[in-house]
Amino acid sequence: MAAANEFPPDWERVDEWMPPELAKQVRALAAEARTRMQEKIMLDEHEIEDRRRAVANAIASQRLEGLEVDAQTRAELDQVALGELEPADVIASIRRRLVAGD
């Protein structure tokens, strides 16, 4: 059984510290959530094309403002269009590079 002060609990060993029926329900909900996340990640071609257009528009907007998007950011934005990264990941990457002086 998990220690009372252990947080977060060890979800891999849920049967050791949770009543069996509740553990079964938790595992089923977790499996359903994983499936939904995987389905959400898979984008159809229409969605990918829409995202690519949005990326191209964002880059064009930067150019209109006199700024050039660097190659690494463009590559990361391409990954966003494909659903491989989230926009927040790109923002975090840009911040890390700015702080590092890259």
CATH at 96? 1.10.8.1050
Range of the domain at 89: 45-100
Question: Looking at residue 26, what is its pLDDT?
Answer: 65
Whole-number pLDDT of residue 87? 85
For the chain, where are the alpha helices, taking DSSP H only? 14-17, 20-41, 45-64, 71-81, 87-100
- Rounded distance between C-alpha atoms, residue 15 and residue 7, angstroms: 16
Q: Report yes or no on 3 lying in a domain.
A: no
Residues 57-93: pLDDT tens digits?
889 988 998 989 999 999 999 998 888 888 888 888 9
The dihedral through the CA atoms of 64, 70, 71, 72 has a sign that is negative
* Res 5 pLDDT > 60: no
Considering its fold, how many domains does the chain have in total?
Answer: 2
Q: Are residues 35 and 75 in the same domain?
A: no
Q: Do residues 24 and 54 share a domain?
A: no
